[in-house]
A and B are shown apart, each in its own frame.
Chain A
Amino acid sequence: MPEYLLSVHNTVGAEPPAPEFMERMYAQVSALNDEMHHAGVWVFAGGLQPADTAQVVRRRDDGLVVTDGPYLEGKEVIGGFWIILVPDADQAAAWARRAAQACEGDVEVRAFQPVPRD
């Protein structure tokens, strides 16, 4: 059965999100995680620290250098993700709808490549 990455894309505003928003979102996401566990589709989930806390390892001609992040400067960042195990793209999309509602952001659905087993 394929695994899917549901990545949450948030738009970063100038202000950090309000505490009430964060509280509501945590409650919603936590309820959804419980449902995913019950349905047997949950593999992993996590929210990320803000993108400006990132560091980036970049390949240069003379080797690797570590710089401050994020990797891409932009208004859209990945705020967190789920990995779920479901039979097909439609069921992945159905969970992604729930995820988008729970975390109040846009959610991209992408299948993982199959792991070669031969």
Chain B
Amino acid sequence: MGPTAQQVEAVFRADYARAVATLTRQFGDLGLAEDAVPDALAVALATWPDAGVPASPTGWVLTTARHRAIDRLRREGSRSARQREAALLHAADEAREVPVVADDRLRLVFTCCHPALARPAQVALTLRLVAGLQTPAIARAFLVPEPRMAQRLVRAKRKIRDAHIPYRVPTEAELPARLAAVLAVVYLVYNEGYLPSGDTTDADAVALAGEAVRLARLLVELMPDEAEARGLLALLLLGEARRPARRSADGTWVRLADQDRAAWDVALATEGLDLVRWCLRRGAPGPYQVQAAIAAVHTDAPGAAATDWGQVVALYDQLLVFAPTDVVRLNRAIAVAEVAGPGEALRLVDGLDQDGYHLLHATCADLLERLGRAGEARAAYDTALALTANPLERDLLDRRRANLPAPR
């Protein structure tokens, strides 16, 4: 009894990045590699259900995709005879090397996140080529019409070809800046899956967050010495650990302070905490590691009141060195409220220049409420509500506002 179509597709998802990466190196043509892998999938869907899964599916996928790429090269009229020969010769030379080089997927990651590409193109390419997501799924995740997402991918691949963006891991000198872009892409994917907006379903959001975690795991696997890659994975795992508690039984959003900590995923939390400890021993902090350390302080606390808020404030001070932004200052102020009281926190928040940011007004509202200034708190909730369209956030703000003591 052979595998079902879903099982065949699952095998391909697991090997997708490796196959595209290896073929890109062998043929020097990312577009060709990306066409050949789905060709191989079609062959597998036609033959595996009867013949069974081959003994080495990864090897089968690579070999079959390679043959399909050569077929495509021979058939394609758009290439000159000279280009075809060059690509085939290139492939013949490369095939004599070790078939799978560990670096291939890493090269692919860095090509997808090349600074010559705009961030939305980097994100789309990474999800398509490294995570192996289909275009409709990517379009849905980012609320972009499918033809536009397809166009974005085509343009990005064309730019890689026409600008001769190289397919390689950056040099030591370039690496810090280039790695930061890769981590930012994965973090952006995670954020899209963190707070589902009105038009994405919860299932889509969970799947996207899962892709981000898989990508972060891949980065750690490919760059085991990069502390920031581990910091990012830790941050995502500690966030995912809280997912079961982030929504109430009736689907509403639950703030960290109000979450049922017994519902947190212990396995994910433990893995995240282990990674944070590894980072601390390493002693080469960066923005993702510090954010993960902040998340770890929350994870370690038995309850919101028992949190080591002094430690949280100290970590935000450290984060400000890497990311001196008002968003970080706002989050620091929220921790200061627990150490020095809401009055001191409000003074800090009032000094920030982010009038268009709904969470600034939501924070003000919370602090004013705790200071017994219900009228001003109500006005601040109104401002926050006017600035966000996200239904989950609006619902939470509405409920907080309704719970304020009635004006006399």
- Residues of chain A touching chain B, judged by Cβ–Cβ distance below 8 Å, are 2, 87-90, 92-93, 109-111, 113, 117-118
| B62 CB, nearest partner CB in chain A, Å | 25
Are B80 and A89 in contact (CB-based, < 8 A)?
no
Complex CA distance for A90 and B174, rounded to whole angstroms: 10
Are A89 and B165 in contact (CB-based, < 8 A)?
yes
Looking at the complex, which one of A90, A109, A113, A118 makes contact with B166 (CB distance below 8 Å)?
A: A90
Q: Which residues of A contact B115 (CB under 8 A)?
A: 93
| A2 CB, nearest partner CB in chain B, Å | 5
B 135-167 to A, binary, CB cutoff 8 A, 1 in contact else 0: 000000000000000000000000000111110
| A96 CB, nearest partner CB in chain B, Å | 11
Are A87 and B164 in contact (CB-based, < 8 A)?
yes
B160's nearest neighbour on chain A, judged by CB, is: A89
Are B82 and A89 in contact (CB-based, < 8 A)?
no
Number of A-B contacts (CB under 8 A): 31
| B174 CB, nearest partner CB in chain A, Å | 8
Interface size class of B (residues with CB under 8 A): 10 to 19
Are B163 and A111 in contact (CB-based, < 8 A)?
yes
Complex CA distance for A89 and B80, rounded to whole angstroms: 23
B116 at the interface (CB under 8 A from A): yes
Task: Please name the 6 residue pairs, one residue from A and one from B, whose CB atoms are nearest each other, closest first.
Answer: A88-B166, A89-B165, A88-B164, A118-B80, A89-B163, A2-B164
Are A118 and B82 in contact (CB-based, < 8 A)?
yes
Q: Which residues of B contact A92 (CB under 8 A)?
A: 164
Complex CA distance for A44 and B163, rounded to whole angstroms: 19
Chain A to chain B contacts (Cβ below 8 Å), 10 pairs: A87-B164, A88-B166, A89-B114, A89-B163, A89-B164, A90-B165, A90-B174, A111-B162, A111-B163, A117-B82
Q: Which residues of B contact A117 (CB under 8 A)?
A: 82
| A20 CB, nearest partner CB in chain B, Å | 32
Are A87 and B80 in contact (CB-based, < 8 A)?
no
Q: Which residues of B contact A113 (CB under 8 A)?
A: 162
Complex CA distance for A109 and B116, rounded to whole angstroms: 10
Are A88 and B165 in contact (CB-based, < 8 A)?
yes
Q: Which residues of B contact A110 (CB under 8 A)?
A: 163
| B193 CB, nearest partner CB in chain A, Å | 31
Given contacts A89-B164, A89-B165, A118-B80, 11 further A-B contacts (CB under 8 A): A2-B164, A89-B116, A90-B165, A90-B166, A90-B168, A90-B170, A93-B116, A109-B163, A111-B162, A111-B164, A118-B81
| A87 CB, nearest partner CB in chain B, Å | 7
Complex CA distance for A52 and B115, rounded to whole angstroms: 34
B115's nearest neighbour on chain A, judged by CB, is: A93
Complex CA distance for A113 and B158, rounded to whole angstroms: 12
Complex CA distance for A88 and B170, rounded to whole angstroms: 13
| B164 CB, nearest partner CB in chain A, Å | 5
Q: Which residues of B contact A109 (CB under 8 A)?
A: 116, 163
| A99 CB, nearest partner CB in chain B, Å | 16
| A46 CB, nearest partner CB in chain B, Å | 23
Q: Which residues of B contact A2 (CB under 8 A)?
A: 164
Q: Which residues of B contact A90 (CB under 8 A)?
A: 165-166, 168, 170, 174
| B76 CB, nearest partner CB in chain A, Å | 14
Q: Which residues of A contact B164 (CB under 8 A)?
A: 2, 87-89, 92, 111
Complex CA distance for A113 and B161, rounded to whole angstroms: 11
Q: Which residues of B contact A118 (CB under 8 A)?
A: 80-82
Q: Which residues of A contact B163 (CB under 8 A)?
A: 89, 109-111
A116's nearest neighbour on chain B, judged by CB, is: B80
Q: Which residues of A contact B174 (CB under 8 A)?
A: 90
| B390 CB, nearest partner CB in chain A, Å | 37
| B158 CB, nearest partner CB in chain A, Å | 12
| B214 CB, nearest partner CB in chain A, Å | 27
Q: Which residues of A contact B82 (CB under 8 A)?
A: 117-118
B161's nearest neighbour on chain A, judged by CB, is: A111
Complex CA distance for A113 and B170, rounded to whole angstroms: 25
Q: Which residues of A contact B81 (CB under 8 A)?
A: 118
Complex CA distance for A110 and B163, rounded to whole angstroms: 7
| B381 CB, nearest partner CB in chain A, Å | 44
Complex CA distance for A36 and B352, rounded to whole angstroms: 48
Complex CA distance for A88 and B164, rounded to whole angstroms: 5
A86's nearest neighbour on chain B, judged by CB, is: B164
Complex CA distance for A2 and B165, rounded to whole angstroms: 11
Are B166 and A87 in contact (CB-based, < 8 A)?
yes
Complex CA distance for A20 and B56, rounded to whole angstroms: 69
Complex CA distance for A92 and B162, rounded to whole angstroms: 13
B83's nearest neighbour on chain A, judged by CB, is: A118
Complex CA distance for A24 and B165, rounded to whole angstroms: 33
Q: Which residues of A contact B116 (CB under 8 A)?
A: 89, 93, 109
Q: Which residues of A contact B80 (CB under 8 A)?
A: 118
| A19 CB, nearest partner CB in chain B, Å | 35
| B102 CB, nearest partner CB in chain A, Å | 21
Complex CA distance for A118 and B116, rounded to whole angstroms: 30
